[in-house]
Amino acid sequence: MSDQEKLVQQCTATAQQWLTPAFDEQTRAEVKAMLDNEDKTALIDAFYRNLEFGTGGLRGIMGAGTNRMNRYIVGMATQGFANYIRKAFAGKENLAVVVGHDCRNNSRLFAETCADIFSANGIKVYLFESLRPTPEISFAIRQLGAQAGVNITASHNPKEYNGYKAYWDDGAQVLSPHDTGIIDEVNNVTIDQVKFTPNKDLIQIIGGEMDIDYLAAVHEALIDQDVINRQKDLCIVYSPLHGTGRVIIPAALRTWGFQNINVVAEQMVIDGNFPTVVSPNPENAEAMTLGMKLGDKLNADLVLASDPDADRLAVVCRDPKGHWCILNGNQTALMLSYYILENKKKLGQLKGNEFMVKTIVTTETIADIARRNGVEIRDVYTGFKWIAREIKLDEGVKKYIGGGEESFGYLPFDKVRDKDSPASICLLCEIAAWAKDNGMTLYDLMLKIYLDYGFAYQNAISVTKPGKSGADEIKQMMADFRQTPPTSLGGSPVVTVKDYQTLRQTVNGAESPLNMPATGDVLQWFTADGTKISVRPSGTEPKIKFYVEVKGDMPTAADYDKAVAEAQTKVNAIKADLGL
């Protein structure tokens, strides 16, 4: 029997278990159709493995099967999570969780399934009445004193996907030891152990009252009300990309004092099929097209968008020629960090105990700005749970005032423990108002930051290696880089090597430890001319990712385009040196 025949046999046996009365009629029909089809491709893809519950939860294509997002996979995950919560808080009475969801197809069904199972396990559930932003779920966990939470969302993935984010009592996605503990419990659950019959007395619907509390918290991120009052007619265009920011973000902007808020009507419609975009990802220029079109019509000052679960954001501003320019994630994080530090300092809001956080792959210019302003800066791994960890470590002792990552996520206050686009969008509009008050656009402000702190250009490179052979190839690439690290990149010698797997660094030949809370499969190289290259395998996709940051000369604002062109040439040389 060939390997393919064995795989079909294995998948067939697993699929046949889904024909029992434990599964609903629609699911059984979908599975039977796969079994009856002579082409076994769909059967294999749906049943060749179990959809893995990782440290961030679940994410996958929706449909019947063990490798799909469906009511039964969500049910087993929730039963395992409930089992772990009861063990972790053994002896505690009145256990509670918060459950929310985004706009995706089946999100409400999956959220209600979670609520039913938690309640059946004797855990009180605060279930949002309808879709809400990811940061509001995080806020609600803390506000209600819940022990955990679940948000049903696949963030900015294509429409075929859905997901399951698990949160702990601090409002952050779970970290060690809870992450592995939950995974172990989930892996031990079988479908017959799932308690699907709810205890309705333990399910409480929440909504508007939490919105009010969350909006009040977002308002705390405001720095200078006077500048907003002077520029209250700033022309803002906003799109939720059919998602959860549609009500909260315009409301938040109004509470801050902005009065000229214009929404992209076509994208205000709640629709899990995301009909107006190829992909609901604000990182993609295509997703911003309708917003920029409306911006042209209104002669807007800036265009903003949030992704479907409203944790990430995108910003579009005008260049000196009046053309729209989409800021990358590093530039957005840089601008937010700069404004927070510079203006809190000017307004006497810094007390000396503040700190900021960035991920290790995010621009180093943020660290330069923090240090120049006398504020502590911390580096953490990719993923907002690590930023949340830093806030929790010094809660009540030191004050977190901002942090972010290059992948379009930022958190400008400490009442939430995940990326927060409502607060970040409001603050970016305040920054645009401040810039306008000083005769600048956001684009002009970006150039000013480069002139004050030095020009830096970032480029992210993803190399896709699908399948098991691809995974093996990525593993070998990391091993080769560790065994034989580059000695020169882009014509500049490598002076520092950091290996987060061994937690060792070598600086000019001298080895020393790296102070990080856990190991990570990440390598970094720093060259004599200030270039930084980070490389890591993706945790969610069959990719190896390279993050390149190069410094350059930009004597005047007029030299920006030239500096970018020179930086791109250097990035190409680095790619060649790395064999990319």
Long-range contact set of residues 339-344: C-beta below 8 Å, sequence gap at least 24: 339/223, 339/427, 339/430, 339/431, 339/434, 340/223, 340/401, 340/402, 340/412, 340/427, 341/369, 341/370, 341/373, 341/375, 341/401, 341/402, 342/369, 342/373, 343/223, 343/224, 343/434, 344/223, 344/401
State how far the Cα of 454 lies from the Cα of 208, in Å rounded to an integer: 46
According to the model, what pLDDT value does residue 480 have?
Answer: 94
Q: How many CB atoms lie within 10 A of CB 16?
A: 13
Q: How far is CA 559 from CA 52, 366, 369, in A?
A: 49, 22, 22
According to the model, what pLDDT value does residue 468 have?
Answer: 66
Task: Provide block-wise average pLDDT over 10 residues at a time, the chain (580 residues).
Answer: 85 94 93 93 90 85 95 96 97 96 98 98 98 98 98 94 96 92 92 96 97 98 98 98 97 98 98 96 92 97 97 95 94 98 95 96 96 96 95 96 95 97 98 97 97 96 79 90 94 96 94 94 96 88 89 96 97 94
According to the model, what pLDDT value does residue 56 have?
Answer: 79
Identify whether 138 is a catalytic site residue: no
Q: What tokens does 113 get? A: 């399934």
Domain 49-206 falls under CATH 3.40.120.10:
yes
Q: How many CB atoms lie within 10 A of CB 206?
A: 19
State how far the Cα of 129 lies from the Cα of 108, in Å rounded to an integer: 9
Domain 214-453 and domain 455-577 have a common topology: no
CATH of 214-453 among 3.40.190.10, 3.40.50.300, 3.40.120.10, 1.10.540.10: 3.40.120.10
Tell me phi and psi for residue 188, to 5 degrees.
-90, -5
State how far the Cα of 131 lies from the Cα of 322, in Å rounded to an integer: 36
Q: What are 83-129's pLDDT values in tens digits?
A: 999 999 999 999 999 999 999 999 999 999 999 999 999 999 999 99
Domain range annotation of the chain: 49-206, 214-453, 455-577
3-state SS of 132-157 is: CCHHHHHHHHHHHCCCEEEEECCCCC
CATH of 455-577 among 3.30.310, 1.10.3470, 2.60.40, 2.40.128: 3.30.310
According to the model, what pLDDT value does residue 540 have?
Answer: 61
State how far the Cα of 62 lies from the Cα of 56, in Å rounded to an integer: 18
Q: Which residues pair with 511 in a beta bridge?
A: 506
Residues in the chain: 580
Tell me which of 155, 306, 337, 407 is the catalytic residue: 155
Task: Determine the 3-state secondary structure of 399 from DSSP.
Answer: strand
> Closest by alpha carbon to 173, among 213, 214, 138, 208?
138
According to the model, what pLDDT value does residue 176 have?
Answer: 86
